[in-house]
Structure 1
Amino acid sequence: MTGIAAGGTLRTGETAGTGAARDGGAGELVTTDLAVGGMTCAACVARVEKRLGRIEGVTSGVNLATGRARVLHPPEVPVERLVAAVERAGYTAAPLSPGDAGPGAPAEEGADDTEARLRVVLVALLALPVMVVSMVPAAQFLNWQWVCFLLAAPVALWGAESFHRGALRALRHRTATMDTLVSLGVLASFLWSAYALFLGGAGTPGMRMPFSLSAGSADAHVYLEATVGVPLFVLCGRLLETRARRRTGSALRALAELAVKDVSAVDGPEGGGEHRIPVERLLPGGHFLVRPGERVATDGVVVRGGAVLDVSMLTGESVPVEAGPGDRVTGGTLDLGGSLVVRATAVGADTQLARITALVVEAQAGKARAQRLADRVAGVFVPAVLALAVAVTAFWLGAGATAQGAVTTGVAMLVVACPCALGLATPTALLTATGRGAQLGVLIKGPEVLERLREIDTVVLDKTGTLTTGRMRLLDTVTAAGWERGEVLRLAAAVERLSEHPIGRAVVEAAESAGGRELPAAPASAPPPEVGAFVAMAGTGVSGTVGGRRVRVLRPHAATGLPGTLAGVPAEADAAGRTAVVVEVDGAPVAVLVLGDTTRPGAARAVERLHALGLRTVLLTGDGPGAARRVAAELGVGEVHWSASPERKAEVVEELRAAGRVPAVVGDGVNDAVALARAELGIALGTGTDAAIGAAGVTLVRDDILAVVHAVELARRALAVIGSNLTWAFSYNVLLIPVAAVGLLHPMLAALAMSGSSLLVVANSLRLRTWRPRGEGAGSR
């Protein structure tokens, strides 16, 4: 059947079974995504990157929150070698295709948390009685310590098994991770308790142990509460952390879920011969049917019917959009009412939904400068903590402390110092921010773009198609004495209806919008008059016979002498950057129609809010001075550059940078691509050309310039969250490691603090899921 393929197709840029895609032409690097399992902290991230970096020509970025590694490598380096390098570091690895394991769904083992929940429940049943009896002297019955030992043994050996396995795996590769710290802490407290029970006198019937939040020093003291408390709190924290990390990618997964699996294909525009097929078999040019309650299967153009579409999940616009014949529709939008027959224009990886998803995945693979620093610190942090714990234990022994007190102090240091929060501080915030941006119609290509968004101080705005709609509209109708505006417009539209010129379409649209706010129009009941002897004169205008009258719509230079009321209108229109045409009836000028591009509805508000954010605005356009000055005055833009060629636009950007300003350029056309690339940051409208979008760091899916403001505000908010996360992650270790070193922190409380710090970082990042632009109400999705 026409428009339907016989089977599935390989997406552009994919290599089947490897997850590798060319990053450019021949001789350039190849990009491969790997799912990495077994990572638990920032030290793991640093270790994987270091191992991959040992391969010549290979660079990588590893994301703890997503469990992904994005590797750039020469074509001659096979994917199998990359996988082997990760495995030599002590972790699992598998290549990913672009559609596999979306961000926010960590790829490590145990993604299904049923087993993890069961383990936590069983550990809690065993651990809670031990903790209560050990910490409440009044609950300590005869031989309580032996009962607690029997309950603690399975927790120390089976409950903490994942930590022990991770520690052994790291030991085999001569490294240390968070698992090493937790495993050593659990085993040290358990073995010390066993020593105290069997050889140190703690097993004596009737022994009582006082409650203490510090390391303690009594020879008969046992630390079974730490033995069970550390794995219980860390397992609980890890389970909650994993579930919370998945929520950080919920926005992207929601976008992915918009993709339609099956489609009702039809034989042609009339909608006959309907049958369901997999959407992969639909080809450009094929027709499909959309009913109320269904999602549009792929990008296309409506050829029949009418419907109201919910586009909020793609663009953030809460107001439904009407679609009819000739309108473009986007795959994934929801039909709220009405039926459509749509001709597919793009399928698979070429659809807007697929491009949005790919851009967000790309953004979440990068790293901010602060995170790169944190990863470097974490790479040496765990070995340093191990060495410090040994040194502190030796110091207390040398200072005359009991072996129990010294060992317990070392255990507390090991547990409290796990750098989990450090590894999660940036990626969780980045996942959430980029997902939230996608919901608002703002696609940010990476964390470095977020950083540049915060640093810009000047926004350079293109005019046509960016601040203005890029479409001609009738703005004014000036008539000669004795003529009604509605009648003139009806006659002119009748002739222009046969023209394909933008001026003609604007006149016809004005005539059809009866009762419009700005324009007079013919009564809605008046039928379009018939036109005879139609002639289109290139560069001059059109003419035809309407109801026995000869009607011409002409450029001013081709019209006969204008009467006094009309004489100055063309010159005034030209000075304002607008276009004037003269309507003649039977050889006499009866009206001048003034047409021009109009500003976007939210443009003035966007400029105002950019100024409120402390940003300077510059208008940079290829149009003449009249149009440029008019738009600048209307919107409140202070600096204007007109008649700028693409090369001149790039020169203006360079001049701004030379003056010490940090400019972002907002544009939508091919003529803006060079300026977008030269600027500190390029921002392209999603409705613009592929060249503009490719040169930009931010793409605005919404056809709304206010999204520029939203992008800046979101970047500032996201980086503030990242900053607070990293501040907490560093401060937590700086504050609590010394407290543990002087023996003032019980190992169980150390485990609670360590788990709590990770959860605090993730919870802080999750606040970005509900972030709204300033001044936006509940309609901002």
Structure 2
Amino acid sequence: MKEEKGSQLKEASTTTIRAVFPVTGMTCAGCAISVESIFKSTGGVIDAGVNFANNTAWAEYDPLKTNPPALQKSIQSIGYDIIIDAENSAELQESLQLKNYRDLKSRTIWASILALPVFVIGMFFMGMPYGAWISMILSAPVVFWFGRSFFINAWKQARHRMVNMDTLVALSTGIAFIFSAFNTIYPEYWHNRGLHPHVYYEAASVIIAFISFGKLLEEKAKSNTTTAIKKLMGLQPKTVRILSDGKEEEIPVSQVVPGQIIVLRPGERVSVDGITVSGSSYLDESMISGEPVAVLKVEGDKLFAGTINQKGSLQFKAEKVGADTILAHIVKMVQLAQGSKAPVQKLVDKIAGIFVPVVIGIAILTFTVWMLIGGEQAFTHALLTSVTVLVIACPCALGLATPTAIMVGVGKGAENNILIKDAESLELGYKVNAVILDKTGTITEGRPIVTAMNWAAEIKDQDDYLKVLFSLEINSEHPLADAVIKKLKEDGISGFPLDSFESITARGVKGVYNGIGFFAGNLHFLEEQNIVLTTDQEDYVQKKQHEANTVIYFADQTKVLAIISIADKVKDSSKEAIRQLHEMGIEVHMLTGDNEQTASAVANEVGIKSYRAEVLPSDKADFIKQLQSEGKIVAMVGDGINDSHALAQADVSIAMGRGSDIAMDVAKITLITSNLQSIPMALKLSKKTVQTIRQNLFWAFIYNIIGIPLAAGVLYGYNGFLLDPMIAGAAMALSSVSVVSNSLRLKALKLRSN
């Protein structure tokens, strides 16, 4: 398997554990950098990462050297926390997020109420008696109580020689308030120097209010990006009824163990994966297959957690529970994808990591320059401009640019039965210019079905013959017999009791009914019975074989009664999906281990010009390497264990959801539905997500590129303009809201072609 590229999370070795923890207390991208740094510096941690947008962190660690409580203690030392209760982490995180949102909402409201009169006094009634004292009294609780978290977090960061956005806010508002308080209490200092003692209470208080309001909007917007996971988690019921000593007993679904018999009533959701042991019913499996038509489940059929029972009742035996169910795997894949970082995010993280120190440096430089050239108002201007630089340069928008787009993109994919394992797939998908398709199970249904029955001209009444055929095939061990039986059952045919039956390995079956011998099998079997085909029948057989059909012969003692054509039917969606890929300018190749004749027939039917037949698994990977050496970005689509090597070699790997577990484990994208049109949909989603990331980065940078020079006072020499710190706070909050709002636009994206 080739080395994984980009930011794909490396797999844990057999001696390490990889765990995901909800993080509490993060308020900006700088916080995420701090948490990640502490994680990585903790003894025993091999690698770690933090996602600010969904407030989670992952860590790969050596359990012999550290454990979750030790990791939690490290994080708590810098003012944050992680939830290590794995069983209830989702509920705890949701509860804490709700509490945090309510607290933030309360702080924002009160900060805004107190900041409003300060703003009015500072902007319109600057000379009113005792105005400065009133403003100081009203501003103090805004800055030091409702804004206390900024100072607490900044201090904890400083203890570890680290800085983040809280450092910027604490410095700017703290300096502005202290400077203003000095001028209020001791105005003579400036009067003695012939200067008016300006105060900036409105800047300090309104900045806190604006930033709090921006964070409130961010929290609400970020919660909207995780609705896909919440919807998936909601598909599993909380309780389940099991049979215990012949009696029904209701227990929490978390207590179900494999082997228990579960009772499923009409309208209920399946709680765990299992196999039907009695009863029958139709189940809505659209969340697994994407198909709207309910599926009949009888004894021996598999059931999947999250699917919905219709009108019947049945009992099933639990096979996979908890984290082993398909639904749990789906949830985990979505969570990992939303928490993973696209390659572009690595650059963003590096920028955010050095951004705060650079901004502090610019603020110090601004202060120094103004002190040197500012004239009589040097100190006032130096203080005002440096504070404004600190405020407007908040890196929140930069930190949200990529993860919010990734989260919404992954959620949008999940809504359309496209499960994305890691963010790299979303970034690379739009670059794909060559798609490799496996045949069986990908282009075709992956199971043989009867496509036609050609009866001899003299057979007018077929019913009795069909019943004899059913009786022969129901006892056959040949895999193709299942296709015949399924077709006959669909047509309402049942069998006759045979006088005798015999199965001949590699030939067919024969039986006697009412003293007449009947045969079903291949051509060699007929020849052994001295039965020959008519010219018309030979022509028909050649035609069907050219169409990649396998034929079974049904005969009596003298003649061929019917020729049954069986094929792995091409999916209804395959031809249209391939047409769409061609329209997107993407090369489409088909690789199959099947014979040349079958491969050619399928390729012609779906419009593929480039195909290879009778290829080994290693040949598929070698073909991908060849295309990659030509500069192609290759996507491989497969469903079997034999595709796993090629899937690992491809730049973007896509597995069919009904395929093997290994294929789905290796692939970066899994299509839950069998509809091949999900492939162009996934590539379209990639393109739109990358466009959104680029737009977000533009909005994040444009505010700083324009705002920092204005805040530093570059226009003062031309027109006397100085940016008010209050306006800077509003611009900073607006940049974050712009980024999150732009990401949420992906929710309205229509992936399906009309």
TM-score, structure 2 as length reference? 0.90
Q: Is the alpha carbon distance of 1:622 and 1:164 closer, same or farther for their aligned partners in structure 2, counting shifts above 3 Å?
A: same
Distance 2:468 2:518 in 1: 7
- Bigger shift: 689-698 or 370-379? 689-698
Post-superposition Cα deviations, 1:716-775, rounded to whole Å, max 9, x if no partner, equal 222221221122212221111111111532111111111111112112222333433132
State the secondary structure of the residue aligned to 2:662. helix
1:676 aligns with 2:647: yes
Structure 1 residues 626-775: aligned runs within 5 Å? 626-742=597-713, 744-775=722-753
Q: Is the alpha carbon distance of 1:143 and 1:54 closer, same or farther for their aligned partners in structure 2, counting shifts above 3 Å?
A: closer
Structure 1 residues 472-621: aligned runs within 5 Å? 472-484=448-460, 486-487=462-463, 488-514=465-491, 528-559=495-526, 560-621=531-592
1:359 aligns with 2:333: yes
2:141 alignment counterpart = 154
Shift of 1:220: 4.7
Q: Is the alpha carbon distance of 1:600 and 1:325 closer, same or farther for their aligned partners in structure 2, counting shifts above 3 Å?
A: farther
Q: Is the alpha carbon distance of 1:497 and 1:118 closer, same or farther for their aligned partners in structure 2, counting shifts above 3 Å?
A: same
- Bigger shift: 229-238 or 762-771? 762-771
Alignment partner of 2:13 out of 24, 27, 31: 24
Amino acid at match of 2:213: C
1:78 aligns with 2:66: yes
Distance 2:369 2:196 in 1: 18
Q: Is the alpha carbon distance of 1:32 and 1:302 closer, same or farther for their aligned partners in structure 2, counting shifts above 3 Å?
A: closer
Shift of 1:542: 1.5
Amino acid at match of 1:73: Y
Structure 1 residues 218-297: aligned runs within 5 Å? 219-266=196-243, 273-297=247-271
Distance 1:645 1:484 in 2: 47
Amino acid at match of 2:489: E
Q: Is the alpha carbon distance of 1:678 and 1:605 closer, same or farther for their aligned partners in structure 2, counting shifts above 3 Å?
A: same
1:180 aligns with 2:167: yes
Q: Is the alpha carbon distance of 1:461 and 1:125 closer, same or farther for their aligned partners in structure 2, counting shifts above 3 Å?
A: same
1:346 alignment counterpart = 320
Distance 2:165 2:470 in 1: 75
Structure 1 residues 129-144: aligned runs within 5 Å? 129-137=117-125, 142-144=129-131
Shift of 1:250: 1.6
2:34 alignment counterpart = 47
Amino acid at match of 1:754: M
Amino acid at match of 1:77: K
Alignment partner of 2:55 out of 67, 80, 105: 67
Post-superposition Cα deviations, 1:39-67, rounded to whole Å, max 9, x if no partner, equal 32222333333344445773221111233
Contact 1:556 1:570 (C-alpha < 8 Å) held by counterparts? no
Post-superposition Cα deviations, 1:442-478, rounded to whole Å, max 9, x if no partner, equal 2222112222323321111111111111222121222
Structure 1, gaps ≥5 residues long = 1-20, 205-216, 515-523, 777-781
Alignment partner of 2:397 out of 416, 421, 437: 421
Q: Is the alpha carbon distance of 1:530 and 1:203 closer, same or farther for their aligned partners in structure 2, counting shifts above 3 Å?
A: farther
1:520 alignment counterpart = none
1:7 alignment counterpart = none
Structure 2, gaps ≥5 residues long = 1-9, 714-720
Distance 2:322 2:461 in 1: 50
Alignment partner of 1:471 out of 442, 447, 461: 447
Structure 1 residues 69-108: aligned runs within 5 Å? 69-79=57-67, 82-87=71-76, 90-94=78-82, 96=84, 98-102=86-90
Q: Is the alpha carbon distance of 1:104 and 1:410 closer, same or farther for their aligned partners in structure 2, counting shifts above 3 Å?
A: farther
Shift of 1:292: 2.7
Q: Is the alpha carbon distance of 1:200 and 1:484 closer, same or farther for their aligned partners in structure 2, counting shifts above 3 Å?
A: farther
1:114 alignment counterpart = 102
State the secondary structure of the residue aligned to 1:508. helix
Amino acid at match of 1:753: A
Contact 1:190 1:223 (C-alpha < 8 Å) held by counterparts? yes
State the secondary structure of the residue aligned to 1:370. helix
Amino acid at match of 1:470: G
What is the RMSD of the two structures over their aligned residues, measured on CA atoms?
2.9
Q: Is the alpha carbon distance of 1:128 and 1:318 closer, same or farther for their aligned partners in structure 2, counting shifts above 3 Å?
A: farther
Contact 1:64 1:424 (C-alpha < 8 Å) held by counterparts? yes
2:5 alignment counterpart = none
State the secondary structure of the residue aligned to 1:570. helix
State the secondary structure of the residue aligned to 1:112. helix
State the secondary structure of the residue aligned to 1:197. helix
Distance 2:188 2:641 in 1: 83
Taking only the aligned residue pairs, the percentage that are identical comes to 34
Amino acid at match of 2:496: P
Amino acid at match of 1:763: S
Shift of 1:642: 0.4
Shift of 1:286: 2.5
Could you say which structure has the higher helix fraction?
2
Contact 2:79 2:153 (C-alpha < 8 Å) held by counterparts? no
Shift of 1:697: 1.6
